[in-house]
């Protein structure tokens, strides 16, 4: 009923807008629904008219500005149906993009100034312009899809926004190992999370059930190790070309790909392919499926393990005492690092329950040294803090605060992903048809109402690199499943990562998210209508 009323109201508004042209209602800038909430917003009385006459103007080095200008053009086109021109000549009714070192003291910051005659987005670097564009998109009164405008006029409130992120690392993780997701799905997700100024996408590329990235020097990893998933089935993998395509696409949205190869545990898919890496582990009998190597024209490999089609964890490990294991991880880390422009390589390191601690520690230290050798910094789940970490290494806090504190005592920073708050695979409540609940049920208010600096006295602001929300995919099969678990919670986590603590407020977030729900609905996104929100 409420939805019907809303629809009638919106239709009435739209008719009013179309027939009266300029008399459309403008929501003033201080009543905005911007997520993540900006550092400062100063409204003015008035509006800018976005129409087919609006031009996008590049006011500094066009080679640096063109890609963001093209993004802006296509984003505004999708929302409104307008086809804006891009040029270098400034006139009335322009959206000006300007690289300007003075626009913000922060390297990722931006300023957005909207007057009756022009919109100026200025930033010291292209990523700042991109973030300014995300903010501007949220001020456009059209949602795309069925709520696209029809070549008319769109009024944007005047005023200024000054903004920059709280944390340098604002991330999401997608587990493509339990279930595989196509390059197209990953690109769609990249577009959706870029809206919320997320700048890292961590890909969990290997686990017991599947190996998802081509390694040229160990080809069976994908032909054998990639051909399985939770529940059994064909699995899948990225060729190196696919991976490079994902990296390039992410770069165009100012998102850094963080590749993870989980080790020494969570490695059954590598042991499916190469028995030589196996110290003698087996797969839980209930979920083991034998592999027919003959059918693939391969020799028998008695030490190779069967597929694991279940979701139990902690039973697998590499043979940490065999030199071949280190040749193997050297090749894997080298090949992936060569394709990865970002600074991090994630070595996993979680839940290695069958690796003795005296084997685990030197293994992590050797893996860390190989990551350094290939020019990357090590990221690892919080257990890696048992080893001697380099100061450049980062521990990802998911389970144990004492591990995070161990890392901090060694001079490392931590990435905050507390499972009880930030895990996107946790059910919203006991009725959620997807997800797990071993850590908690996480409703939208619980995903929002926490701060990384308030969990433990010893984890202080300066120890925190940023925040990441992981999506494990034991129960997640389709892209619609991803959307359901990610939205709206990722918007909450993104605000924790971007916005200053004192600007955040649940009641206000709860109001602002409604507008996002309308846009998601117009775009056909399968999001969770949390009962905590009056959608
Ligand atoms: C724990 S979180 C895991 C994953 C599972 C996840 C399910 C972490 C570092 N390890 O292997 O997928 O729980 O919620």
Whether residue 12 is predicted with pLDDT greater than 50 in this model: the reply is no
Whether residue 487 is predicted with pLDDT greater than 80 in this model: the reply is yes
The active-site residue, picked from 245, 351, 456, 521, is 351
**Per-residue model confidence as pLDDT tens digits over 420-430:** 999 999 999 99
In what helix (H) or strand (E) does residue 497 lie, and over which residues does it extend? helix 489-498
Place of tokens 């100012």: 254
Ligand 1 centre distance from Cα of residue 449 (Å): 22
- Reduced to 3 states (helix: H, G, I; strand: E, B; else coil), residue 67 is helix
Pick from 48, 118, 389, 100: which is nearest to 110 by CA?
Answer: 100
Ligand 1 centre distance from Cα of residue 472 (Å): 7
**Per-residue model confidence as pLDDT tens digits over 321-350:** 999 999 999 999 999 999 999 999 999 999
Which protein residue's CA is at the shortest distance from atom 7 of ligand 1? 472
pLDDT score at 131: 98
> What are the beta bridge partners of residue 40?
162
DSSP string across 149-171 = --S--EEEEEEEEEE--S-SEEE
Q: How many CB atoms lie within 10 A of CB 155?
A: 22
For the CA of 436, the nearest atom of ligand 1: 14
pLDDT score at 23: 58
Whether residue 86 is predicted with pLDDT greater than 80 in this model: the reply is yes
Q: Is any atom of ligand 1 closer than 6 Å to the C-beta of 211?
A: no
Q: Is 214 a catalytic residue?
A: no
Ligand 1 centre distance from Cα of residue 510 (Å): 29
**Per-residue model confidence as pLDDT tens digits over 392-451:** 999 999 999 999 999 999 999 999 999 999 999 999 999 999 999 999 999 999 999 999
| Structure token digits, residue 131 | 């973030």
Which protein residue's CA is at the shortest distance from atom 11 of ligand 1? 313
> What are the beta bridge partners of residue 99?
123
For the CA of 351, the nearest atom of ligand 1: 10
Ligand 1 centre distance from Cα of residue 175 (Å): 10
| Structure token digits, residue 307 | 């597929």
Domains, the chain, in order of start with CATH, read: 25-163 (3.30.379.10), 171-499 (3.20.20.80)
pLDDT score at 21: 45
Q: Is any atom of ligand 1 closer than 6 Å to the C-beta of 214?
A: no
pLDDT score at 152: 85
Which protein residue's CA is at the shortest distance from atom 9 of ligand 1? 350
Place of tokens 């977030």: 509
Cβ distance 265 to 207 under 8 Å? no
At residue 308, φ and ψ (nearest 5 deg) are -110, 115
pLDDT score at 243: 99
Ranges of H-type helices in 284-388: 323-338, 357-373
| Structure token digits, residue 489 | 């919670």
**Per-residue model confidence as pLDDT tens digits over 471-481:** 999 999 999 99
- Nearest-angstrom CA–CA distance, 494 and 212: 27
**Per-residue model confidence as pLDDT tens digits over 271-289:** 999 999 999 999 999 999 9
- Nearest-angstrom CA–CA distance, 71 and 359: 49
| Structure token digits, residue 36 | 């993540």
Whether residue 35 is predicted with pLDDT greater than 90 in this model: the reply is yes
Start-to-end Cα distance in the chain: 12
- Nearest-angstrom CA–CA distance, 309 and 314: 14
For the CA of 473, the nearest atom of ligand 1: 12
- Nearest-angstrom CA–CA distance, 470 and 404: 17
Percent of the chain with pLDDT over 90: 92
Angle at 513 between CA 511 and CA 515, to 5 degrees: 90
Q: Is any atom of ligand 1 closer than 6 Å to the C-beta of 127?
A: no
Q: Is any atom of ligand 1 closer than 6 Å to the C-beta of 425?
A: yes
Over the chain, what is the mean pLDDT?
A: 94
């Amino acid at each position: 009923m409420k939805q019907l009323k809303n629809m009638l109201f919106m239709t009435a508004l739209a008719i009013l807008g179309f027939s009266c042209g300029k008399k459309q209602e403008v929501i003033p800038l201080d009543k905005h629904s911007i997520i993540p909430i900006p550092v400062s917003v100063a409204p003015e009385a008035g509006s800018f008219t976005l129409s087919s006459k609006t031009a996008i103007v590049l006011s500094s080095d066009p080679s640096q500005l063109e890609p963001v200008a093209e993004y802006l053009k296509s984003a505004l086109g999708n929302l409104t149906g307008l086809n804006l021109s891009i040029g270098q000549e400034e006139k009335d009714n322009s959206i000006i993009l300007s690289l300007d070192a003075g626009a913000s003291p922060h390297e990722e910051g931006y300023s957005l100034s909207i007057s009756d005659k022009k919109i100026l987005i200025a930033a010291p670097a292209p990523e700042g312009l991109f973030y300014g564009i995300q903010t501007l998109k949220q001020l456009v009164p059209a949602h795309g899809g069925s709520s696209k405008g029809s070549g008319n006029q769109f009024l944007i409130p005047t005023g200024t926004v000054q903004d920059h992120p709280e944390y340098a690392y604002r991330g999401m993780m997608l587990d493509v190992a339990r279930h595989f997701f196509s390059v197209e799905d990953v690109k769609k997700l990249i577009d959706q999370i870029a809206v919320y100024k997320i700048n890292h996408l961590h890909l969990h590329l290997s686990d017991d059930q599947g190996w998802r990235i081509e390694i040229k020097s160990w080809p069976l990893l994908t032909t054998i190790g990639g051909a399985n998933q939770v529940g059994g089935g064909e699995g899948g993998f990225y060729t190196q070309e696919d991976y490079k395509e994902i990296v390039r696409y992410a770069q165009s949205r100012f998102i850094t790909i963080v590749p993870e190869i989980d080790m020494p545990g969570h490695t059954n898919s590598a042991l499916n392919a190469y028995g030589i890496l196996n110290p003698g582990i087996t797969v839980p009998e209930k979920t083991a499926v034998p592999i027919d190597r003959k059918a693939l024209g391969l020799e028998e490999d008695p030490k190779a393990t069967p597929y694991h089609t279940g979701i139990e964890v902690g039973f697998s490990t590499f043979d940490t005492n065999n030199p071949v294991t280190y040749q193997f991880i050297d090749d894997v880390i080298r090949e992936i690092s060569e394709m990865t422009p970002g600074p991090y390589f994630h070595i996993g390191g979680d839940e290695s329950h069958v690796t003795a601690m005296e084997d685990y520690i030197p293994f992590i230290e050797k893996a860390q040294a190989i990551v350094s050798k290939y020019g990357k910094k090590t990221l690892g789940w919080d257990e890696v803090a048992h080893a001697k970490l380099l100061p450049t290494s980062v521990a990802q806090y998911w389970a144990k605060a004492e591990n995070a504190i161990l890392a901090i005592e060694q001079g490392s920073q931590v990435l905050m992903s507390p499972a009880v708050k930030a895990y996107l695979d946790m059910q919203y409540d006991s009725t959620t048809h997807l997800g797990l609940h071993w850590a908690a049920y996480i409703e939208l208010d619980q995903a929002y109402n926490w701060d990384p600096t308030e969990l433990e006295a010893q984890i202080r602001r300066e120890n925190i690199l940023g925040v990441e929300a992981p999506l494990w995919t034991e129960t997640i099969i389709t892209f619609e499943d991803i959307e359901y678990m990610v939205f709206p919670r990722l918007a909450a986590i993104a605000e924790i990562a971007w916005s200053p603590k004192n600007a955040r407020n649940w009641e206000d977030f709860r109001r602002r998210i409604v507008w996002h729900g309308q846009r998601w609905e117009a775009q056909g996104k399968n999001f969770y209508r949390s009962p905590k929100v009056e959608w």
